[in-house]
Amino acid sequence: MKLNNLFMVGIDQSAPIEIREKVSFGKKVVDALMKIKEIEGITEAVVLSTCHRSEVYFISAESGDDAVRWFFCEFFKVDKDILKPYLYTLQGKYVTEHLFRVACGLESMVLGEDQILGQVKEAWGRAMEAGASGKILNRLFMDAVTLGKRARAETHITDHPLSISYIAVKFIQGIFEDLSNKTAYVIGTGEMGRLAIKHLLTKGIKEVFVSNRTHSRAVDLKQEIPEITVVPYGQKYEKIARNDIVISATDAPHYTIDYNKFMAVYNGKKICMVDIALPRDIDPRIGEIEGVNLYTIDDLKNTAEKNRKKREELIAVIEKMVDKTVDEFIKWYNSLSMVPVIKHLNDYAENACLSEYERVINKLAGIGEREKKHIKYALKRVGTRIVNRYLMGLKTLAEEGKLDQSVLNIFQGGDFNV
């Protein structure tokens, strides 16, 4: 199988938020994997779903990328003309390079962010549990996760926290300047919500209230962050109306803050709302209310760009690491063609040596068992040395992509029989 059988089809942060939220896999990743596995010709698949990207990595010997492009439209029930301008395809080496850059945080809004590495690892884990990934994608994602960890460890790119949650808090700080007399209400106890809370507390926020649809999770979070005050989810609109800052970061498929319900309790207080969820948590119409400032992930881009400059000098270093790992993956992939050759040559050598051993032993009368073992061992060593010499040359050609199929045919049987 050629490297060009490796594909990726997806949408990333270059698409408007209105488009990205239409194709956000969320909790439907496993269902998506089951559907993708049913597509003819696809033998392996992994779905990577984050706030900024919805990507399907897959191995296809027959269908190319058209079937998966159509899958996006059918699975999310979105007209193909709406998605067509934003769906993109990568193939072969470019898929490898892209995933490695994603895992290293080079394709993130916040350069080098940590969260994406966990998301890549989680995507791979779900695919393995679903039986959707195989030998090739397992190796690809394992290399991506390993590289992501090494890039961060060796460059220390994450010494300064610059996650999306941190950017959100920096954005709020830029609006209020002093947070010591402000209160915040955070909806969602997932990774982004937890990080936002920690950053708010670090910036000296007066008080942080937290709610989660599953109340026990908010209670558990208080064990980790005692400074927070847990509020029942049913009281969220009262708290929203009373706080200066509202951050919503859930994975709900619908709005967690409804326009009409908010209007029923809103008293005209100035409120800064930051919606860092995708699909969005807060009804966009709320941003049109006088006194309410509503910001989404896309509004954080300017702040993210300023922070990006702090890390730009490390990009070249990580990119060299990416290039080297891409080359290593390609060599490994190309060497897969050697597997049947290795088996055949070893079998050939073993059979040839055994045949010669039996021929020689039958002609040597009175030879003892000790001598027989020496002869057998010597023949085996000769066979192994000859095979290894061939394999070294063939492996070099394979890794460089220069191993012609006609050569493979000879060494796998055909004109190379005992």
**Mind telling me the catalytic residues?**
51
- 246: Cβ contacts below 8 Å, ≥ 6 apart: 184, 185, 186, 187, 240, 257, 271, 272, 273, 274, 282
Burial class of residue 105, CB neighbours in 10 A (0-12, 13-18, 19+): buried
β-strands 292-296, 88-91 pairing: unpaired
Burial 86-97 (b: 16+ CB within 10 A, else e): bbbebbebebbb
Query: What's the CA dihedral at 12, 14, 18, 23 to 10 degrees?
Result: -20
**Before 279, cis peptide (omega within 30)?**
yes
* Amino acid letter, residue 40: E
- Burial annotation 369-378 (CB, 10 A radius, 16+ → b, else e): eeeeeebbee
**First and final CA of the chain: distance in angstroms?**
27
